[in-house]
């Protein structure tokens, strides 16, 4: 295992990271895996993953010979996994190092565990490649293992979107998040279409270069021109056709305003989550800053008709039991009442604001997130909530339901509750917000419907589309991206909202406490945004659409198909491995 393998692995790790840290570089992902594929192919010629598999024939081999040479070779065979692991570790670390600012332990866990999952897929690909090479008459390049890699990777990404412990931040299709001119066809496929394109592009580019090197090395390059051209045309079509389609869509796209237009205001109070918001700054002072921004912003818009004011995630957060907003009687809370009265006093205003709320139950609701309240003999749930204060003096709640693992939700709650019942201190210390089954859509007095995704929910395309299925004609996103500092994290989070705009063809009003607040059009362009770490407010008229995209109607078809095929292929791989070991 020479230095070139490490260099190739590092090259892939860095190339995979570039689209996530440098804007408008999504095209790099189309060849980012090529160095790693060459490293794997080069190493496989001498030592392969299956060389160390136990078999009857290997057990019968003589132990004689040069023992020193034998023991010197074994570590090389066993250590190859470090090469792809290094590539994936670099990719994860360079792209998501910023998690460290919020939680050092969480950063280490996310980077290492995500890299290990990617490694597992790559090692299964290597095993499939080795088994394919054992077929009689097999050519030097077997397409099946690369098809296996593509399907298994996308199947894993799709499952990762639904796992209890989920971190799909580095989905390959997200590489195009800051290059929306390349991703307009996501309205048909979602991000998994991008993952499929990126994997196929890498494989065909790798195949073309490898074929050229093979023929050149044998001196028969002229004879192989037709084969090279055939592979070259296929690679060219796979790489360029989606770009051409996207550019055509991008140039010809016209925003749909079939449900009219309405004014939106987004507020960025810029309250430091570490030293102010959850520390020494009183909620009354936070309210004053927010409402001052709102008063300044609504002067810019036409107030003769209804409009929307959007405030960030968890803007109202209780300092103690006396400050809690109980959804059973929210007007009893002073902070809730202040925002409610402010909305009622401004004719036509609809406000969406984030808050931490609680709900009491007379009896045990039977869900895993509820806790018992001994002082009242009742049960209660806590929620990360979006509150809609309507222009008609009504209000409603939506509870965030894609929660950040550990921070907001207990992983595998049934198992943790069982551990807590057995006296586990770790399990007992873990809590979690409650969730809800449906995506609530807020409606104003004119019947216009707006959805609100809370923070992490904007990363999950298949989940996010449910707002539109429930009638949302425009979307809002409320978040608090100040936890990560001035790093690529908040910019990545914003760029993922651009992909949601393309998938659903809904304009977005995004309010961030600290981060970037912005307006995003239906084409996925950021048309106005605030500065990082700046108190600001933005106002803009957005189109409301009734159009339903293919992705909204059918969801992640590619991911579901690949998940099903992955199961079949893994079973096939297991059968072939058993057959090989029996025949050996």
Among the listed ranges 6-10, 223-227, 361-365, 543-547, which one has the minimum average pLDDT value?
223-227
Read off the pLDDT of each residue in 550-576 and give the average, rounded to a whole number.
96
Nearest C-alpha neighbor of 417 from the set 472, 350, 364: 364
Span 53-74, pLDDT tens digits: 444 444 444 444 454 444 444 4
Read off the pLDDT of each residue in 182-207 and give the average, rounded to a whole number.
97
Q: Between 294 and 365, where is the model more confident? A: 294
Q: What percentage of residues in the chain have a pLDDT greater than 90?
A: 72
Per-residue confidence band for 563, with pLDDT thresholds at 50, 70 and 90: very high
- Please give the helix or strand (H or E) that residue 372 lies within, else none: strand 371-373
CB 499 within 8 A of CB 461: yes
SS3 sequence of 26-54: HHHHHCCCHHHHHHHHHHHCCCCHHHHCC
Is pLDDT above 60 for 555?
A: yes
Among the listed ranges 93-102, 112-121, 232-241, which one has the minimum average pLDDT value?
232-241
What pLDDT was estimated at residue 201? Answer: 97
What pLDDT was estimated at residue 45? Answer: 58
**What three-state secondary structure class fits 98?**
helix
What pLDDT was estimated at residue 367? Answer: 84
What pLDDT was estimated at residue 218? Answer: 64
Interatomic CA distance for residues 329 and 172, integer angstroms: 45
| This prediction's pTM | 0.91
Is pLDDT above 60 for 252?
A: yes
Token duo for residue 230: 């055939």
Read off the pLDDT of each residue in 470-478 and give the average, rounded to a whole number.
98
Is pLDDT above 80 for 158?
A: yes
Q: Between 59 and 390, where is the model more confident? A: 390
Per-residue confidence band for 249, with pLDDT thresholds at 50, 70 and 90: very high
The structural architecture, per CATH, of the domain 261-356+386-401+436-546 is 4-Layer Sandwich (3.60)
Is pLDDT above 70 for 98?
A: yes
In the DSSP assignment, the letter for residue 299 is: T
Span 510-531, pLDDT tens digits: 999 988 999 999 999 999 999 9
Q: What percentage of residues in the chain have a pLDDT greater than 70?
A: 87
What pLDDT was estimated at residue 529? Answer: 97
**256-275 burial, b for 16+ CB within 10 Å, e for fewer?**
bbebeebbbbbbbbbbebee
Mean pLDDT of the chain: 89
Among the listed ranges 66-75, 392-401, 465-474, 545-554, which one has the minimum average pLDDT value?
66-75
What pLDDT was estimated at residue 405? Answer: 83
Within 8 A by CB and 6+ apart from 124, the residues are 148, 152, 570, 573
What pLDDT was estimated at residue 224? Answer: 63
Beta-sheet pairing, 261-268 with 441-443:
unpaired
Among the listed ranges 5-9, 44-48, 199-203, 556-560, which one has the minimum average pLDDT value?
44-48
Beta bridge partners of 349: 307
Read off the pLDDT of each residue in 362-372 and give the average, rounded to a whole number.
87
What pLDDT was estimated at residue 227? Answer: 72
Interatomic CA distance for residues 342 and 350, integer angstroms: 10
Axis-axis angle for helices 3-21, 82-96 (nearest 10): 30
Token duo for residue 158: 């799709």
Helices in 378-460 by DSSP H: which ranges? 413-421, 425-429
What pLDDT was estimated at residue 412? Answer: 61
**What three-state secondary structure class fits 435?**
coil
Read off the pLDDT of each residue in 296-315 and give the average, rounded to a whole number.
93
What pLDDT was estimated at residue 72? Answer: 44
What pLDDT was estimated at residue 149? Answer: 97
What pLDDT was estimated at residue 222? Answer: 63
Among the listed ranges 128-137, 322-331, 544-553, which one has the minimum average pLDDT value?
128-137
Extents of the domains making up the chain: 3-59+66-171+184-254+559-583, 261-356+386-401+436-546
Is pLDDT above 60 for 282?
A: yes
Is pLDDT above 70 for 221?
A: no
Is pLDDT above 90 for 239?
A: yes
What pLDDT was estimated at residue 213? Answer: 80
What pLDDT was estimated at residue 348? Answer: 94
Interatomic CA distance for residues 281 and 454, integer angstroms: 23
């Amino acid at each position: 295992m020479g230095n070139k393998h490490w260099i190739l692995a590092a090259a892939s790790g860095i190339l995979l990271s570039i689209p996530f840290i440098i804007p408008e570089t999504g095209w790099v992902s189309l060849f980012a895996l090529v160095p790693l594929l060459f490293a794997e192919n080069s190493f496989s010629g001498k030592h392969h993953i299956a060389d160390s598999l136990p078999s009857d024939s290997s057990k019968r081999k003589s132990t004689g010979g040069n023992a020193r040479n034998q023991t010197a070779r074994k570590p090389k065979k066993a250590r190859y996994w470090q090469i792809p692991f290094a590539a994936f570790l670099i990719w994860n670390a360079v792209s998501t190092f910023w998690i460290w600012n919020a939680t050092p332990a969480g950063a280490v866990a996310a980077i290492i565990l995500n890299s290990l999952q990617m490694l597992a897929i790559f090692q299964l690909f290597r095993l499939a490649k080795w088994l394919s090479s054992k077929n009689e008459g097999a050519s030097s390049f077997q397409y099946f293992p690369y098809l296996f890699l593509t399907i298994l990777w996308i199947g894993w990404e799709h499952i990762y979107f639904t796992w209890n412990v989920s971190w799909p931040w580095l989905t390959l299709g997200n590489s195009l998040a800051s290059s929306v001119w390349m991703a307009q066809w996501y309205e048909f496929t979602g991000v998994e279409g991008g993952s499929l394109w990126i994997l196929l592009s890498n494989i065909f580019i790798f195949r073309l270069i490898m074929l050229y090197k093979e023929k050149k090395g044998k001196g028969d390059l002229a004879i192989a021109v037709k084969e090279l051209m055939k592979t070259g045309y296929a690679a060219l079509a796979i790489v360029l056709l989606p770009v051409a389609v996207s550019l055509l869509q991008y140039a010809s796209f016209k925003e749909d305003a079939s449900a009219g237009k309405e004014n939106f205001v987004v507020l960025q109070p810029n309250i430091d989550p570490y030293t102010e918001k959850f520390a020494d700054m009183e909620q009354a002072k936070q309210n004053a800053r927010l409402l001052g921004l709102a008063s300044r912003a609504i002067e810019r818009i036409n107030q003769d008709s209804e409009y929307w004011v959007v405030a960030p995630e968890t803007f109202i957060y209780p300092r103690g039991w006396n400050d809690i907003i109980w959804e059973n009687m929210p007007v009893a809370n002073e902070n809730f009442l202040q925002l409610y009265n402010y909305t009622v006093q401004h004719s036509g205003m609809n406000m969406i604001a984030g808050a931490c709320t609680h709900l009491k139950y007379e009896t045990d609701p039977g869900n895993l997130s509820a806790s018992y309240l001994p002082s009242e003999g009742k049960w209660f749930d806590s929620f990360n909530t979006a509150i809609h204060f309507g222009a008609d003096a009504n209000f409603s709640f939506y509870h965030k339901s894609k929660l950040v693992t550990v921070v907001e939700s207990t992983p595998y709650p049934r198992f943790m509750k069982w551990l807590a019942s057995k006296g586990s201190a770790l399990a007992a210390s873990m809590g979690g917000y409650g969730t809800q089954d449906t995506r609530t859509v807020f409606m104003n007095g004119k019947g216009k419907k707006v959805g609100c995704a809370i923070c992490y929910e904007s990363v999950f395309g298949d989940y996010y589309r449910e707002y539109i299925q429930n009638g949302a004609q425009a979307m809002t996103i409320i978040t608090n991206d100040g936890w990560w500092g001035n790093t690529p994290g908040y910019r990545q989070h914003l760029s993922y909202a651009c992909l949601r705009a393309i998938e659903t063809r809904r304009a977005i009003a995004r309010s961030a406490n600290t981060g970037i607040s912005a307006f995003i059009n239906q084409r996925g362009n950021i048309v106005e945004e605030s500065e990082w770490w700046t108190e600001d407010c933005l106002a803009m008229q957005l189109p409301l659409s009734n159009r339903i995209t293919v992705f909204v109607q059918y969801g992640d078809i590619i991911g579901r198909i690949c998940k099903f095929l992955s199961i079949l292929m893994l079973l096939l791989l297991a059968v072939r491995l058993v057959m090989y070991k029996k025949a050996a």
